């Protein structure tokens, strides 16, 4: 129930007004940077009745939104956010706090009471409070609250209020329905299916012409200068901090690992298990009859059919303790592989069985399991540390640049020269301490900053952070014809092969238009026939851009496209509309999506009604104080 509630609320409108984002946003952000406005006369940003929203709460809410704003508008750090964007974000943050407070008041007016047991269960479920064994750890709980400048009473109040808000909005959101007419229309749109024949013509199928003359190569070299130059290289220093890099820096005492091992002994010390097929019947004579039939060679499918109406089951990796009958367990674990045994009297009737496989016991000592347990702990713990460690790294970079990166926070530094494709001068991938999306982000940043520009810590993909500083730029420069001759020849040959493929593909395409399809236009064995796809079920064998084009075409029409290594000619041979009412899964998914969308609208309307009923009093001077303190200055805008 708890997991389903989290899915409903985190993915829905309610997630916008949950102060701790089901706790994860709260943990790690901390409260160390909250500005103290007390005593300035502007310490209350808004009032709803007798309840107040303080400037400290607004400051914290706004600061939490800055990393996401920074990423969305494409700047390096929050200091580069334009003032008008920061001002708008401040009022959006205030609006979220107002909506939250309105819901809390609604829960109080409805006399919603949150039991202590619900608060306890919610707190105990937070991963940040779990030790290596995966259980709630009071010491860790106290440590996390302390590092975030929060008392236990204050945290429990947050949990209480969040649960109360859920209780208010859950009936509203779960009461939303969906129109079967709209669902059917959308299902028809997504299920409309096209069947196509297509032919892929690779460039590599064509041989280049004979060795060209020198004048031809010189002309090609002159006409394509951008292909034959040494790329710009930049020497950069970078530092990366991510859950993966932090994990390697986490140390754990053996006694804690031992405790985790003791808690998972059933995982590391597995007794003998068996794979077995069992049929249970009510009548002993019938069981004996089926056992004889099984011994005479009837396969498992035949035995299931013959025992229709009785319980037949195949179980893998079963332990004696998992078998409800002690007599049956003893018989199974005494039987050799492949032998048909029984009938055996059990509490449920008479059982016959066959052991398929015997898996020997496996005992893993603590020493053998230590590395795995440590890795599990590090993997679970590292994401909880990323916010705190990234703040520490940001402070270091702000003070000393990239010269003195601490060795104990899990940051990894590197330096070297690379081009815009991320390759070294030896044309090998540069050994950056990152992969995939983060690697691409770092390379893009290296080639967008100026030489000597001061580094800033930037949020990257997958909960990572990085900073770069370029200290040397070697501009791109042309190579002489003699230096590039081999590359000129290779490029010319590739271009000639593409031109030959293009000519052949164009001929096939024109013939397909005249003869009614690619299958009639070409007798190539490479023609793929009857490939089907729809908006809801694309075909991975057909390029994405080609499918997008074909989706708007009628039966009998042909199209030609090009990708990196080939031309493709395709003909739509059939367009048909499956009956959406018979596609139960598609209709169910669409109706669920519509219901979620309607639930969002209902929740939003409900909260807006609460705001109209108890309108807030906004202290614009206090809001301006928060805006100015964060450097967004100027006249506030709503």
Summarize pLDDT for 125-181 with one digit per residue, the tens.
888 888 777 788 888 888 778 766 778 888 899 899 999 998 998 888 877 888 888
Give 385-435 as a DSSP string: HHHHHHHHHHHHHHHHTTS---SSS--EEEEEEE-TTSB-TTSSB---S--
Instruction: Please identify, among 360, 385, 418, the residue that sits at the C-terminal boundary of a domain.
Output: 360
Is the domain of 466 the same as that of 570?
no
Residue 634 in any domain: the answer is no
Tokens 């070409």 belong to residue: 522
CA distance readout (Å), 435 to 24, 120, 382: 25, 40, 18
Neighbours of 130 (CB within 10 A): 19
Q: Are residues 9 and 110 in the same domain?
A: yes
200 or 376, greater pLDDT:
200
User: 319 and 304: one domain?
Assistant: yes
Domain annotation covers residue 590: no
pLDDT digits over 450-494, tens only?
Answer: 999 989 888 888 889 999 999 999 999 999 999 999 999 999 999
Query: Are residues 149 and 83 both part of a single domain?
Result: yes
pLDDT at 21 over 50: no
Q: Is residue 463 part of a domain?
A: yes
Say whether both 373 and 465 belong to one domain. Answer: yes
Which tokens is 83 given? Answer: 């003032």
Q: Are residues 387 and 459 in the same domain?
A: yes
Predicted local distance difference test score (pLDDT) of residue 15:
47
**CATH code of the domain containing 346:** 3.10.50.40
Domain boundary among 360, 389, 405: 360
pLDDT in tens, 599-614: 888 888 998 899 899 8
Map tokens 């690992």 to a residue: 257
Query: Is there a domain that residue 155 lies in?
Result: yes
Question: Distance between CA atoms of 450 and 316, rounded to whole angstroms?
Answer: 61
Query: Which range scores top for mean pLDDT: 11-20, 114-123, 579-588?
Result: 114-123
To which residue do tokens 């429990």 refer? 156
Residues 235 and 283 in one domain: no
Residue 49 is assigned to a structural domain of this protein: yes
Domain containing 73 — which CATH number?
Answer: 1.10.4030.10
Same domain, 489 and 561: yes
Query: Strand pairing partners for 414?
Result: 238
Global pTM reads: 0.53
User: Residue 442's domain is classified under what CATH number?
Assistant: 3.10.50
User: 567 versus 324: which is more confidently predicted?
Assistant: 567
Q: What is the side-by-side strand order in the sheet with 44-48?
A: 51-54, 44-48, 617-618
3-state secondary structure 328-354: HHHHHCCCCECCEEEEEEECCEEEEEE
What would the pLDDT profile of 79-99 be if each residue is shown by its tens digit? 778 888 889 999 999 999 999
Long-range (24+ apart) CB contacts under 8 A made by 265-270 are 268/363, 268/364, 268/365, 268/369, 269/362, 269/363, 269/364, 270/361, 270/362, 270/363
Q: What domain range is 393 assigned to? A: 230-253+367-478
Element (H, E) at 165: helix 152-174
pLDDT digits (tens, 9 = 90+) for 523-552: 999 999 999 999 988 999 999 999 999 999
> What confidence score (pLDDT) does residue 111 get?
92
Q: How far apart are CA 127 and CA 129, in angstroms?
A: 5
Distances (CA, A) of 426 to 33, 416, 419, 610: 46, 12, 11, 65
Decide if 9 contacts 603 (C-beta within 8 A).
no
**Within-domain flag for 636:** no
CA distance 528 to 519: 9
Q: How many domains does the chain have?
A: 4
Whether 374 and 253 have beta carbons less than 8 Å apart is answered as no
- Give domain status of residue 486, yes or no: yes
Clarify whether residues 144 and 221 are in a common domain. Answer: no
CA–CA distance, 88 with 606 (Å, rounded to integer): 23
Task: Tokens for 619, please give them.
Answer: 């202290």
Report whether 2 contacts 163 (CB < 8 A): no
| Location of structure tokens 């100015």 | 628
Q: How many whole angstroms separate alpha carbon 344 and alpha carbon 41?
A: 84
Residues 151 and 39 placed together within one structural domain of the fold: yes
Per residue in 183-212, pLDDT (tens digit) is 888 888 888 999 999 999 999 999 988 889
Same domain, 346 and 450: no
Examine residue 334 and state whether it is found in any structural domain, yes or no.
yes
The domain boundary residue, chosen from 458, 478, 498:
478
φ and ψ at residue 470, rounded to 5 degrees: -95, 125
User: Comparing 180-189, 234-243, 419-428, which segment has the lowest mean pLDDT?
Assistant: 180-189
**How far, in Å, CA of 504 to CA of 488, rounded?**
24
Provide the 3-class DSSP secondary structure of residue 451: coil
Q: Do both 460 and 519 map to the same domain?
A: no
Percentage of residues in the chain with pLDDT exceeding 70?
Answer: 92
Dump the DSSP string for 16-29: GT-TTTTTTTHHHH
Distance CA 217, CA 491 (A): 10
At residue 74, the pLDDT reads 72
């Amino acid at each position: 129930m708890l997991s389903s509630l989290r899915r409903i609320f985190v993915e829905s409108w309610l997630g916008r007004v949950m102060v701790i984002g089901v706790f994860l946003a709260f943990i790690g952000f901390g409260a160390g940077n909250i500005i103290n406005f007390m005593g300035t006369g502007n310490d209350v940003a808004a009032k709803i009745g007798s309840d107040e929203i303080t400037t400290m709460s607004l400051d914290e809410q706004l600061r939490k939104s800055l990393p996401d704003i920074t990423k969305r508008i494409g700047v390096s750090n929050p200091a580069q956010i334009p003032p008008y964007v920061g001002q708008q974000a401040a009022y959006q943050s205030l609006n979220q706090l107002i909506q939250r407070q309105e819901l809390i008041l609604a829960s109080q007016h409805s006399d919603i009471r949150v039991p202590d047991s619900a608060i306890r269960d919610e707190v105990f479920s937070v991963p940040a409070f779990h030790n290596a064994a995966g259980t709630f750890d009071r010491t860790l709980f106290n440590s996390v609250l302390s590092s975030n400048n929060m008392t236990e009473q204050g945290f429990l109040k947050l949990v209480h209020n969040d649960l109360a808000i859920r209780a208010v909005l859950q009936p509203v959101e779960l009461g939303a329905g969906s129109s079967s007419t709209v669902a059917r229309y959308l299902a028809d749109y997504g299920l409309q299916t096209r069947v196509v024949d297509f032919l892929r013509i690779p460039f590599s199928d064509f041989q280049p012409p004979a060795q060209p003359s020198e004048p031809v190569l010189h002309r090609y070299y002159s006409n394509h200068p951008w292909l034959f130059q040494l790329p710009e290289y930049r020497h950069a220093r970078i530092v990366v901090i991510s859950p993966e890099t932090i994990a390697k820096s986490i140390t754990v005492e053996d006694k804690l690992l031992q405790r985790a091992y003791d808690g998972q002994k059933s995982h590391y010390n597995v007794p003998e298990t068996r794979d077995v097929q069992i049929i249970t019947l009510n009548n002993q004579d019938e069981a004996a009859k089926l056992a004889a039939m099984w011994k005479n060679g009837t396969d498992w499918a035949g035995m299931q059919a013959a025992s229709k109406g009785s319980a037949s089951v195949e179980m893998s990796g079963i332990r004696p303790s998992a078998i409800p009958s002690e007599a049956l367990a003893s018989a199974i674990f005494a039987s050799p592989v492949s032998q048909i045994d029984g009938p055996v009297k059990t509490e449920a009737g008479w059982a016959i069985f066959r052991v398929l496989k015997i898996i020997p016991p496996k005992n893993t000592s603590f020493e053998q399991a230590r590395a795995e347990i440590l890795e599990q702990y590090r993997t679970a713990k590292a994401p909880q540390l990323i916010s705190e460690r990234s703040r520490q790294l940001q402070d270091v970079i702000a003070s000393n640049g990239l010269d003195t990166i601490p060795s104990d926070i899990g940051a990894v530094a590197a330096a070297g020269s690379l081009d815009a494709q991320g390759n070294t001068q030896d044309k090998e991938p540069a050994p950056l301490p990152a992969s995939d999306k983060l690697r691409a982000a770092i390379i893009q940043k290296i080639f967008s900053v100026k030489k000597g520009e001061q580094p800033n810590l930037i949020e990257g993909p997958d909960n990572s952070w990085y900073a770069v500083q370029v200290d040397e730029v070697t501009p791109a420069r042309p190579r002489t014809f003699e230096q590039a001759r081999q590359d000129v020849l290779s490029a010319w040959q590739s271009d000639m092969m593409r031109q030959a493929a293009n000519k052949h593909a164009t001929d096939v395409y024109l013939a397909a238009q005249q003869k009614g399809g690619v299958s009639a236009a070409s007798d190539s064995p490479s023609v793929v026939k009857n490939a089907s796809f729809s908006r809801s079920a694309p075909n991975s064998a057909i390029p994405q851009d080609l499918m997008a084009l074909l989706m708007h075409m009628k039966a009998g029409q042909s199209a030609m496209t090009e990708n990196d290594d080939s031309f493709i000619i395709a003909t739509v041979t059939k367009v048909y509309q499956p009956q959406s009412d018979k596609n139960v899964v598609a209709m169910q998914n669409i109706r669920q999506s519509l219901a979620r969308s309607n639930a969002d609208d209902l929740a939003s309307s409900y909260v807006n009604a609460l705001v109209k009923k108890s309108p807030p009093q906004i202290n614009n001077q206090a809001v301006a104080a928060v805006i100015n303190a964060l450097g967004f200055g100027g006249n506030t805008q709503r």
